[in-house]
Amino acid sequence: MKNRQTFIKMKYAPLLALALLTTLLHTSCEEQVAAVANQPDPFFDLEAYIEGQISDLNQKQPKVRKTISVEGQQETQQFDSLDYRTELKTFLNSDINRKAWVDKYKADSTFEGSQLKQVAYTATGEDLKTRLLRVQYEQGKVSDIYIENRTNSLVADVRQDLHFQPGQGYRLVTTQETVLSEKQEIEVEAKWQ
C-alpha cells in the first residue's frame, strides 16, 4: 500500500506542481491587471468631461445662436433645443486618453503659484489625428479647451481647430485642401444664451 501511495505521489507530483504554478501566475497576472486598471488616466479625460457637458446641456436645453460660415457666406439661426451629443461629437472623437498613447504625447503644465492654469498635450509624431489638446483652468475649473486635429492623405489635407468654453459655447473651424479643389474653410460657432 505504501508503494502505491508513493507511486501516486510521484505520478501526480508534476501535475500538482503545474497546478500550483498556474495558480500563482494567474494570481500574479490578476494583481498586475488590477494595478494597471486602477492607475489614473494618463491624460485629461476629454471624453468624460464632454459627456458631462452633453448631459448637462441636454437637461438644461439652453437657447442657442448658431452661425455657419462657408467661404465667407454666413447663416445664423436660433435654436430652442439641440441634440448636444451630435453637436459635440467632434470633441468626443478627439479624446487622446488611451493608455497605449502615453508615449505618443508630450505634456506641458503651467502653474500660477500652486494653481494649475493650463495643461497642453502635443503629439510627438504626425501619425495621430489629434495634434494638440490644451485645457485651461480658472479657479480649479476648466475654462477653455482647444484642440487641433489634422488628417493628411494623398487626396486631402484636413485641419480642424476646436474651441469649447463651458457655459458659453463652441467653435469649430475646418479647413480642407484636396488635390482636385481649392482650399475650403467651414466655420461653425454655437453660443448658449
Query: Do 126 and 188 fall into the same domain?
Result: yes
Query: Do 99 and 119 fall into the same domain?
Result: yes
25: domain range? 1-39
Query: Do 119 and 75 fall into the same domain?
Result: yes
- E strands along the chain, which residues? 64-70, 73-79, 105-112, 115-123, 130-138, 141-152, 156-165, 169-178, 181-192
CA–CA distance, 12 with 178 (Å, rounded to integer):
70
How far from the centroid of its chain's Cα atoms is residue 137's Cα?
A: 18
pLDDT of residue 190: 97
- Contact assessment for residue 178 and residue 159, using Cβ atoms and an 8 Å cutoff: no
Per-residue pLDDT of the chain (193 residues; tens, 9 = 90+): 555 444 444 444 444 443 433 343 343 334 443 333 445 567 899 999 999 999 999 999 999 999 999 988 999 999 999 999 999 999 999 999 888 888 999 999 999 999 999 999 999 988 899 999 999 999 999 999 999 999 988 888 999 999 999 999 999 999 999 888 889 999 999 999 9
- Contact assessment for residue 113 and residue 59, using Cβ atoms and an 8 Å cutoff: no
What is the rounded (10 degree) CA torsion for 23, 26, 30, 31?
60
CA–CA distance, 137 with 191 (Å, rounded to integer):
20
Query: Do 61 and 137 fall into the same domain?
Result: yes
What is the rounded (10 degree) CA torsion for 48, 51, 57, 58?
-150
pLDDT of residue 40: 58
Query: Do 96 and 69 fall into the same domain?
Result: yes
Query: Do 81 and 121 fall into the same domain?
Result: yes
Query: Do 108 and 61 fall into the same domain?
Result: yes
pLDDT of residue 154: 86
Query: Do 60 and 28 fall into the same domain?
Result: no
Query: Do 108 and 165 fall into the same domain?
Result: yes
